[in-house]
Structure 1
Amino acid sequence: MRLVGPNGEQVGIVRVEDALRLAAEADLDLVEVAPMAKPPVAKLMDFGKYKYEAAMKAREARKNQVNTVIKEIKLRPKIDSHDYGTKKGHVERFLSGGDKVKVTIMFRGREQSRPELGFRLLQRLAEDVVELGTVESQPKQDGRNMVMVLAPTRKKSEAKAEQRRRQDEAKAAKNTKAGAPDEAGASDEDAADVAEATDGQPAENGAPAQG
């Protein structure tokens, strides 16, 4: 087998017995890392430490991984302006959060003979949210429905970072406001101190204080 040392150095091609002896002398494990190679490749290593480091790397990778979520919004081809505004608000919120949005136009009855209504509605929506998302999948017929997919212009990681930044700023502003002195209260206390200090004292020019 081809043997690799603990620091990645090439030991060379050795017999299995010799590799095991070297592993025992170094108090390390002999781990086969490329069994399908010709000859097979093995490495001297601390297998326990190797497994721990591999687990930590996998954990860190999962932590940094951002899962792409596809939200869905359903519309009718003849939706009224109020409902359209509400649905558009949902789409904007999803895109701002870094999520993709699947927009579905649902046709019923005779509406199925007017696919252009759904196509124009999807085009309108795409134009209304162009600052937040782009059309990833153009409108296409899917049975009785018409579907379009919008992708956010910002990555989800960027959206989350922006959200955390805003939360931190809001928290800092709240703490600053809570710690600020009450100017009106301070003025009242100062006035009370002055009144107490001058109570009963003679007025200027020797005139007696008015009781």
Structure 2
Amino acid sequence: MSTEPRINDRIRTPQIRLIGHTGDQVGVVDIDTALKMADEVGLDLVEIAPDANPPVCKIMDFGKYKYEIAQKAREARQNQTHIVVKEVRMRPKIENHDYETKRAHIEKFLKGGDKVKVTMQFRGREQTRPELGFKLLQRLAEDVALIAFVEFAPKQEGRNMTMVLGPTKKKTEAVAEQRAARKA
């Protein structure tokens, strides 16, 4: 069975509940009478509620109706948000300026509404001191506390320690603010 509503001669029930082209309810009429009424105004008879008893049909321009439905579907797709997880990698012996640069990138991602996965990479003898990486990740979480919250606390996974930060604002709010800033 197709999802498209039945129109004109494809409506098989003998009686229908009819809604006129102006939106007023005509009542229960024969299918032949309804088809004649639709033909007189040059529009289509479209079955809106096939499960009702009797089925509800409306006199309207079917092409325009299909176009409006397609427009609504397109608009709904555009308004969907895609949550992206950005990843930033660092080492426990990171220099202060490099840390500030990474923090600035993380803030930019969070202000854009994206989640950020921070990965602390340990190499060689650094693996014996995971508390250094843990302290650095805690410091980072405190530095971005105004715009983010810790979604997943720092956790050791083999050679890496990861932490996920989520933005306090939703992606839709962040995108709306960016658009408003561009227009101003």
The answer to whether the superposition gives a TM-score over 0.5 is yes
Deviation at 1:161, TM superposition (A): 1.8
Residue equivalent to 1:83: 98
- Identify the structure with the greater helix proportion: 1
Structure-to-structure mapping, 1:197-208, within 5 angstroms: none
Deviation at 1:45, TM superposition (A): 0.4
2:11 is equivalent to residue 11 of structure 1: no
Residue equivalent to 2:135: 120
CA distance in 1 between counterparts of 2:132 and 2:51 reads 60
Task: Give the one of 143, 151, 169 matched to 2:167.
Answer: 151
Residue equivalent to 1:139: 153
The CA RMSD measured in Å over matched residues stands at: 3.2
Partner secondary structure for residue 104 of structure 1: strand
Residue equivalent to 2:58: 43
TM-score (normalizing by structure 1) = 0.60
> AA paired with 2:153?
P
- Cα pair distance change 1:25/1:116, threshold 3 Å: farther
CA distance in 2 between counterparts of 1:148 and 1:46 reads 52
CA distance in 1 between counterparts of 2:121 and 2:33 reads 72
Unaligned runs of 5+ in 2: 1-15
CA distance in 1 between counterparts of 2:37 and 2:56 reads 15
Deviation at 1:4, TM superposition (A): 2.0
TM-score (normalizing by structure 2) = 0.67
Partner secondary structure for residue 160 of structure 1: helix
CA distance in 2 between counterparts of 1:157 and 1:17 reads 52
Unaligned runs of 5+ in 1: 166-211
Identity percentage of aligned residues: 54
Q: Based on CA coordinates, which of the two structures has the bigger radius of gyration?
A: 1
Q: For each residue in 1:77-113, what CA deviation from the matched residue of structure 2 results, as whole angstroms up to 9, or x when unmatched?
A: 4433232122112112223344333323345567667
- Cα pair distance change 1:80/1:43, threshold 3 Å: same
Partner secondary structure for residue 87 of structure 2: strand
CA distance in 2 between counterparts of 1:136 and 1:19 reads 62
When the two structures are aligned, how many residues end up with a matched partner?
A: 164
CA distance in 2 between counterparts of 1:124 and 1:77 reads 12
CA distance in 2 between counterparts of 1:46 and 1:56 reads 16
Task: Give the one of 89, 93, 102 matched to 1:74.
Answer: 89
Residue equivalent to 2:44: 29
Greater relative contact order (Cα < 8 A, sep 6+): 2
Deviating more after overlay: 121-130 vs 62-71: 62-71
- Cα pair distance change 1:24/1:163, threshold 3 Å: closer
